[in-house]
Amino acid sequence: MVTEQLIPRGIRDERVLNAMRAVPRHLFMPASSRSSAYDDMALPIGEGQTISQPYMVAAMTELLMLAGNERVLEIGTGSGYQAAVLSMLSREVMTVERIPELAERAGRVLADLGYANVTVLTADGTLGAPSLAPFDRILVTAAAPDVPQPLIDQLAEKGILVAPVGSRISQQLVQIIRRGNDLHKNYKTHCIFVPLIGRHGWSS
């Protein structure tokens, strides 16, 4: 996966590559799909949700520019795989999932595999986790028309937020860097994610 998919497509951060090598992606997937776990595609995990394509996980993680001491908020826990990757690259990860069944399953897998610096919350992800803010990094793994304002409000000074924004059928990754009251936006690769459902996203 790393040598044939990630490196040839330009993923260069060695810490990201090593995390992708280390996290057992197949263990975050339903048993029936594990034989395809390292294929170059997003795959269903139940409840109408997916585990992102490995390249997209790596690309979004690289855009966060993690140094190792950050508090990270992830919106859209899904399988828990992305949270596990983030946990290896940061100090602490809070991940929010709106679907209780997925949150419970991901929390159990993360705990069983020893990712002790990850906390799984069940809530409307478009609201973030205001009681735990601010966050040095925020990663949104579902698509909204624009980045929800509560997430921007919870981004720390010099913090970085990465999210897919656009329509329900096509989006573009945006990297937002906060410098005081200014938000510097860098638009990156095109992508397709499941919709971000909630008060500041799409309606169900």
What amino acid positions are annotated as catalytic residues?
52
Q: What are the C-alpha distances in Å from 165 to residues 6, 19, 28, 65?
A: 23, 26, 26, 20
Site of tokens 């997916």: 50
What order of strands is seen across the sheet that includes strand 171-179? 118-122, 92-97, 71-75, 135-140, 155-166, 171-179, 182-191
Question: What's the burial of 114, exposed, middle or buried (CB within 10 Å: 0-12/13-18/19+)?
Answer: exposed
DSSP strand pairing (155-166 vs 171-179)? antiparallel
Dihedral, CA of residue 127, residue 129, residue 135 and residue 105, to nearest 10: -110
Q: By three-state DSSP, how is residue 6 classified?
A: helix
Q: Report the phi/psi class of residue 66: left, alpha or beta, with left for phi > 0 and alpha for psi in -120 to 50.
A: beta
* Contact indicator for 49, 78 with CB cutoff of 8 Å: yes
